[in-house]
Amino acid sequence: LDRTAAALAEDGGGTLARRGSAIELDAVLLESVGAIRKDVATATDLEQLKHEVSMRVEAIGTALDSFREREERLLAVSEAAARTLSERVEVLRAQTGAAEALLVEQRRLALTDPLTQLPNREALNGQLSREEERYRRYGRPLSLAVCDIDRFKAVNDRYGHATGDAVLREVAACLRESLRETDFVARFGGEEFVILLPETAPEQAAGALDTVRMAVAARRVECRGAAPLSVTVSFGVACFGEGDDAERVFIRADAALYQAKGAGRDRVIVFGEDAASPG
C-alpha cells in the first residue's frame, strides 16, 4: 500500500510538473514572438533585423529543447509509476484471490464432518431450509430419511472405536456413492445420517433407499486381527405435506426409523406404513 501511495503521489507530481513546464514554454514563446513582431515593426536595418530574429528563434529552440527534455524525464517517471501501480494491482489481485480461496476452504471445512467427509449438521440445516423453501414455492415432492447403523454400539464395544470409525467412513462412502447427485446426505451425529431426496415421493424414496440398504449390507470393513466386518442400516422416511415444516417431517421420519428398529432392523419404513421384511 505504501508503494502504491508513493506511485500515485509521484504520478500526481509529474502531472503538476508537466503543467508548469507547459505554462513556462507558453510564456517563452509568447515573449519571443512578441519581441520578433516588435523587431520587425521597428527595424531599420535588414542585417540587424536578421540578427535579432535569429537570436529570438534560437531562444525558442532552446526553450523547446528544454521542454522536450523535461517531458521525456516526466514521461519516464510516469511510466515507472504506472508499472509500479500495475504490479501492485496484480499483487493485490493475487492476494485477494488467495484470501477468497482460503475463506471458501474454511467455509467448506466448517460445513464438513471431518471423519466421514460428508456435510455436517450445520450444512444439513442450510440445505434443509433451501429445500423446504423450494417445496413451499413449487409444491414438488420432497422426502426426508433418517438412517442409523444397526447395533453400532456393539461394534465399538467388540472391535474398538478405530473399527467403529472405519464403519462410519464405509457407510458414509456407500451412501454417497449409491444416492443420486441431486440427493443430499449429511452426518447428523453419532451413527445417524439424514438424507434429503428432492422430487421424490415416499414410495420412490423407499425403493431408492432399499437399494442403498442392500449396498451397505454387501460392504465389508477390514478389522485388525479379525475377519472383515459387515453391518446393516435402517431407514425411516417421511415426506413433506401441506403446512409441514422440517421439524415435523424429521419427527415423523425418526418415528419411522424407530419402527424399523423395532421390526428387526435392516429395513426401510415409510412413516404411516406397516413394517415390511427387508428386501
Query: Is the distance from CB of 238 to CB of 202 less than 8 angstroms?
Result: yes
Which residue's C-alpha cell is 513546464?
A: 21
What is the maximal distance between C-alpha atoms in the chain? 130
Best CA proximity match to 172, nearest among 156, 188, 151: 188
Best CA proximity match to 67, nearest among 56, 75, 79: 75
Best CA proximity match to 140, nearest among 180, 194, 198: 198
Q: Which of 133, 181, 191, 247 is catalytic?
A: 191
Residues in CB range of 144: below 8 A, 6 or more apart: 128, 194, 195, 196, 197, 237, 238, 239, 240, 246, 249, 250, 253
Strands 184-189 and 268-270: unpaired
Amino acid type, 30: L
Query: Is the distance from CB of 88 to CB of 32 less than 8 angstroms?
Result: no
Q: How far apart are CA 159 and CA 168, in angstroms?
A: 13
Strands 221-223 and 192-198: unpaired
Best CA proximity match to 238, nearest among 212, 266, 213, 203: 203
Best CA proximity match to 172, nearest among 130, 239, 238, 114: 114
The question of whether 191 is a catalytic residue gets the answer: yes
User: Which residues form the catalytic set?
Assistant: 191
